[in-house]
Structures are given as C-alpha cells and as structure tokens.
Amino acid sequence: MNKHLDVSPRVAAALSEGKPVVALESTIISHGMPYPKNVETALLVEQTIREAGAEPATIAVIGGRLKAGLSREEIEYLGKAGRNVAKASRRDLPALVARGADGATTVATTMIIAHMAGIRIFATGGIGGVHRGAETSMDISADLEELAQTPVMVVCAGAKSILDLGLTLEYLETKGVPVIGYGTEELPAFYTRKSGFGVDYRVDSPRELASIFRAQRELDYRGGMLVTNPIPEEYAMDKAVIDAAIEQALSECKAQGVHGKETTPFLLARVVELTGGDSLDSNIQLVLNNARLAAQTAVELRQ
C-alpha cells in the first residue's frame, strides 16, 4: 500500500473480501455543479452503486492524503469549498501531497489513485479529450494519456461534446485504448446519444464488458479501457440546442482568454446557464446511468 494513500474502512473491507468496488471522481463535486446540488448528486451516485451491488469509492486528495473512499463529511467539505479546491490532474499530485493540500481529482488522477488502491472500475460523466483548435493550442487532456497507461476501466457517456470528438478518437486509437459502445455502435456525445463517430466494438451486457476487460488484464496490457454509455433517451438533449450553446460558450471562452485546466469548468458552467439548467439535469442523469453500469460490470468481474 502506498504510504500516501488512505483507503476508507468500507472500501478496504470490500476489497479484502473480494467484493466489487467502483471508483468515483471528485472534480464533479467541487468544479462540476453548484452547492448543494453537487453534494446531493455525489451521495445519490454512491447510493446507486450500492443498490447495484457494489461499494462506491469516491476519490480525492484531502490534507495531502490520497483518499480512496470519502466520508459524508468529506464530501460535504468538498462541495462547500467548491472551486477553492484545486482541480488535480497527474502533474499536481506531488505538490499537493508535499504541501498537505486538498485536490479534487480529474479522470486521470482518479484512475491513478484507484489503481493504487486495487480498484479496477471507475464511473464518471465524460472524459476529457482533444480540445477544438488543438492543432494550434496543443490542448489535449491528460485523461487520454492516463487511459493509455493505467489499467482501469472507465465508464462514461463519451467525451464531453465541447471537445473535438473525431480527434479524441484518433488519439485513443494511436494509444491503443479500446473504445467500447454499450448498446451502441456510435460514440455518445455526453448530452446527446450520437456523435456521428463510430466506436471500436459494441457490447450489450455487463457480463460481456467484464469478460473483455478480464481478457485485457490477462494479456497484461499496460493501459485501460473506455466504455461509452449513452445518456438515457428521455434525458438526452436536442442536438441543435446543445450545439448552439456550446458554440456560444466556446466563443466566450476564447474572448475572455480562458485556457488550460480552467477551460472545461468554464465551458460546462456556461452551457448550463445557456440551456437554462437543462444540461445540468442531463449531466446528473448520465452520471447515475454510468454508475449503475459500472457497478453491474464490477459485480460480473468478481464472479
């Protein structure tokens, strides 16, 4: 066990008993939603995972300690602190640990800490990817590099639709990361079920997902696996509406000089405003949907 890692008693017991565990990120708590909706959603996602037969492990950095499994009080603390908590990617962990600081984990850092703790499956909303205009800005999320090197299955609703989805898929292909569509042959686009881009394989059951991931681990592959799970149809947004909001948010982002790790939180928050809150409701529902599938797959993986 890494000396900087704390595994909560519930998560430690589940792991030692061979029970299924699902990791969850904490950026969605501090940077993804306003308080108290962020705390309510985090607790509801944990409840959804338990109801599906697995133990949730929300991951964060608190007081310089890497945490696999948070208490209700710790989730409340992150929710109230909001953006005062650092958004922590791979490059940030050494400084946060050395300084005894707090950090809300992105997809990349959640994968790192989950792997340290022995957790194989992780549910999130959407991954980061190649940003629009990356051919000049070189703005490519560390999430993609982590998927190429850390053996964790990431269940998501596709890449965030604020990104260049075609280039994101090309990057994942170059890195050898399998992109699997759950019940679909087309990459979901976060708020909408279709993007126009195909996935590598279609899978129609949690058992088959677990079987493919088990085979990947037995082959001793270095990287992870991306499972893209479309938002439930009743919560999907109209493509024209969300595309218009994204285009306006991107224009404002450029005009205001927002860049780097602040780009995604700015864009997502602005899209929520431009859609009158509809995108926030969709975001919550797709996270719950991903958590449920991740838990079902974790249960199958332990069979």
- Quote the tokens at residue 233: 């149809």
Q: What is the pLDDT of residue 37?
A: 94
Q: What is the pLDDT of residue 27?
A: 95
SS3 104: strand
**For residues 32 and 268, is the Cβ–Cβ distance under 8 A?**
yes
Q: How far is CA 67 from the centre of its chain?
A: 16
Q: What is the pLDDT of residue 220?
A: 94
- Quote the tokens at residue 285: 């529902």
Output DSSP code: residue 132.
T
Q: Along the 303 residues of the chain, how does pLDDT read in single tens digits? A: 899 999 999 999 999 999 999 999 999 999 888 899 999 999 999 999 999 999 999 999 999 999 999 999 999 999 999 999 999 999 999 999 999 999 999 999 999 999 999 999 999 999 999 988 877 778 899 999 999 999 999 999 998 777 899 999 999 999 999 999 999 999 998 889 988 899 999 999 999 999 999 999 999 999 999 999 999 999 998 888 888 887 888 788 888 988 776 777 787 778 778 777 677 888 899 999 999 999 999 999 998
State which amino acid sits at residue 65.
R
Q: What is the pLDDT of residue 126?
A: 92
Cα–Cα distance, 178 to 227 (Å, whole number): 8
Q: Which residues are catalytic?
A: 25, 160
Q: How far is CA 175 from the centre of its chain?
A: 19
Q: What is the pLDDT of residue 244?
A: 86
Q: How many CB atoms sit inside 10 A of residue 153's CB?
A: 29
Of the candidates 32, 85, 36, the residue with the CA atom closest to the CA atom of residue 283? 32
Domains delineated in the chain = 5-301 (3.40.1790.10)
* Residue keyed to tokens 């922590």: 88
Of the candidates 156, 171, 78, the residue with the CA atom closest to the CA atom of residue 121? 156
SS3 78: helix
Q: What is the pLDDT of residue 47?
A: 98
Q: What is the pLDDT of residue 166?
A: 94
Q: What is the pLDDT of residue 143?
A: 96
